[in-house]
Structure 1
Amino acid sequence: MTQRQRRYQGVFPVVPTIFAENGELDMPGQKRCIDFMIDAGSDGLCVLANFSEQFALSDGERERLTSELLAHVAGRVPVIVTTTHFSTAVCAERSRSAQAEGAAMVMVMPPYHGATIRVSEAQVHAFYAGVSAAIDIPIMIQDAPVAGTPLSAEFLARMAREIEQVSYFKIETAGAASKLRELIRLGGDAIEGPWDGEEGITLMPDLEAGATGAMTGGGYPDGMRRIVDAWRQGRQDEAAELYQQWLPLINYENRQTGLLAAKALMKAGGIIDCEAPRHPFPPMNPAVREGLLRTARRLDPMVLRWGR
């Protein structure tokens, strides 16, 4: 594996995609969203993820968002760009383009389509090898249930050892902490970044297992930073207490609102003008939205104050 300048650690929230009421991209709102997330303490950002509604974007919109958002961040924090696609060639080209625009890393799910189209383990290995050959920045494998592709710890560790850029892993499957422990044990130094995902709902067990990064929702990086910073600085009891404080909000996002949470919080805080997802994704139930905001107000996160 090539020698790299740094290992990326800490809280890298997913950036939501901001739309106007007519469904078009709202780039001024998108940039305010980015500025808030950096001001709120994000160690880095991830764009075009599933929680960014990447599945609702055209290729042209993806290219525009990658280019304009990386230019707007302007190196203030490292940015991970999701480049997932079923095709090895398309994913490799997306990844090349992201690197050229200044991405620090790409995040890629294994190739899948719909509920049933999958490929063999050998083809998954060849897929990541093909993407790796196209770039000089790290690849984060997103091990998520949505892909419906079993990726054992043994297989992930083997790819880390055998494929040059494969070195980060966001583990979002059931039993994440156990899988992280096994991945770290099997992969050793080839595992540069064992990361937590799923909005931080399993954050504490994953930190205990050795996770060094967390890819959370974008609405309250200040709260997530407090937890992760306390843990990284050896204040485990404080981290646990902070997690207990923020867990109701984390739970609301993970179990009740999903990808709509960050935009609802940003709209309530005056950061963006429109919180709507892109049709046909349904809007949030108004009663659930009020429950989310009521839970957030008890914690006074920056998102409810930054845009006022």
Structure 2
Amino acid sequence: MPLDASARGVYPIAPTPFHPDGTIDFASIDRLTDFYRGCGATGMTVLGVMGEAGKLDQAEGLAVATRYIRRAAGLPVIVGVSAPGFAAMAGLARASMEAGAAGVMIAPPNSLRTDDQIATYYRQAAEAVGADVPFVIQDYPLNFSVVMTPGVIRRIVQENASCVMLKHEDWPGLEKISALRAFQAEGSMRPISILCGNGGLFLDFECERGADGAMTGYAFPDMLVDVVRLSQAGERDAAHDLFDAHLPLLRYEQQPGVGLAVRKYLMARRGLIAADAQRRPAGSLSTAARAEIEYLLGRLARHDARAVVGTGR
């Protein structure tokens, strides 16, 4: 089914698993996909920033996306197709949709500065991938250095019928969510799905401000699923209690430069992927960092049994 504005829940940002020699670990893709489905994820996003998409050539990127899509077997998969030029973007978008993707995610190039430039870029990108391809705006100013105001997001949504979702990763960004939902309530912007990133650091209040869920890659996506479910059910204290128990580890995973190394280490410790390998250039964990992660896992295990993963590696 194609992606639409009713999307809710958790769409984990899936990593690209590698063997220690740098080749793609397709067996771990299957294992991870099965885990996402089993823990209640409502979709998946592949070839995002944390999916090391920039380290894959075009054929590898499509191979990774296709493997996730086929293994997901009906679970909606969004494919990141951001590229320096529209030809590469359109090629990957079309091939991914033909493989069964639900939609694509498009990030802005860091050269954009004005609202007109941003709106024009997304209009041209939508034309390039095709008006029949649902797309997600990736709003991540901390990484892309492109600041999208609520007004320019509304403009993109109103000018492009194929825009169905915002991946919200502004920081701080709670007021942006409130502003966008106010636009929707007053009728000046059609409804869109809003899923939030930033490793889930603000998910507890993002849901309360009107976000529909999360699209991020914390090593415990099953916790994110539970927090969103509890929040949507009105169980505010339970949602915050669970979120607060994970916050120290979640914060540790958000460190610039080594965040993906932390995440992959944790996912390997949980048995979700075979190895914590990254493609170069890559950050690495020191012996001290690994000890700190193990300490945080031990503390988390007092509150959440999912953190009980055996002795240190």
The verdict on a shared fold, with TM-score over 0.5 as the criterion, is: yes
79-88 or 33-42: bigger deviation: 33-42
Do the aligned partners of 2:3 and 2:103 also contact (CA within 8 Å) in 1? no
Q: Once the two structures are superposed, what CA deviation does each residue of 1:256-275 show, in whole Å capped at 9, x if it has no partner?
A: 74122332122213333320
2:305 aligned residue (288, 294, 300): 300
Seen in structure 2, the aligned counterparts of structure 1 residues 131 and 92 have a Cα distance that, compared at 3 Å, is: farther
Q: Is the 8 A contact 1:16 1:218 kept in 2?
A: no
**Aligned match of 1:126:** 120
Q: Deviations over 1:45-84 (max 9, x none)?
A: 1100101111211111101111122111111x21111111
Match of 1:181 in 2: 178
Which stretch shows the higher mean deviation, 155-164 or 99-108?
99-108
Residue 30 of structure 1 aligns to a residue whose secondary structure is: helix
Distance 2:85 2:45 in 1: 21
Please tell me the residue identity of whatever aligns with 1:87: G
Q: Is the 8 A contact 1:139 1:167 kept in 2?
A: yes
Are residue 138 (structure 1) and residue 134 (structure 2) matched?
yes
- In structure 2, distance between residues paired with 1:175 and 1:207: 14
Matches within 5 A, 1:276-291: 276-291=277-292
Give 1:199 deviation, angstroms.
0.9
**Structure 2: 5+ residue stretches without partners:** none
Matches within 5 A, 1:1-308: 7-75=6-74, 77-112=75-110, 117-118=111-112, 120-133=114-127, 134-144=130-140, 145-188=142-185, 190-255=190-255, 257-297=258-298, 298=301, 299-301=304-306, 304=309
Give the whole-Å Cα distance in 1 for the aligned partners of 2:17 and 2:200: 22
| Cα pair distance change 1:271/1:162, threshold 3 Å | closer
List runs of 5+ in structure 1 lacking aligned partners.
Answer: none
2:306 partner amino acid: P
RMSD across aligned C-alpha pairs, in angstroms?
A: 2.3
Q: Which has the larger displacement, 156-165 or 125-134?
A: 125-134
Query: How many angstroms apart in 1 are the aligned matches of 2:97 and 2:261?
Result: 28
Q: Is the 8 A contact 1:161 1:190 kept in 2?
A: yes
Q: Distance between the aligned counterparts of 1:4 and 1:300, measured in 2?
A: 34
Counterpart CA distance in 1 for 2:213 and 2:64 is: 24
CA contact (8 A) 2:112 2:118 kept: no
Q: Secondary structure in 2 aligned to 1:190?
A: coil
Q: CA deviation at 1:218?
A: 4.7
TM-score (norm 1): 0.88
CA distance in 1 between counterparts of 2:76 and 2:3 reads 14
Judge conservation of contact 1:80–1:104 (CA < 8 Å) in 2: yes
Cα 1:291/1:39, change in 2 over 3 Å: farther
C-alpha spacing 1:46/1:266, structure 2 compared with 1 (3 Å): same
Give the TM-score, by structure 2 length.
0.87
Whole-angstrom distance in 2 between the partners of 1:214 and 1:232: 12
Moved segments of 4+, more than 6 Å: 3-6
Residue 120 of structure 1, CA deviation: 4.7
Percent identity, aligned pairs only, is: 28
C-alpha contact 1:82 1:106 (8 A) present in aligned 2 = yes
In 2, are the aligned partners of 1:95 and 1:135 still within 8 Å (CA)?
Answer: no
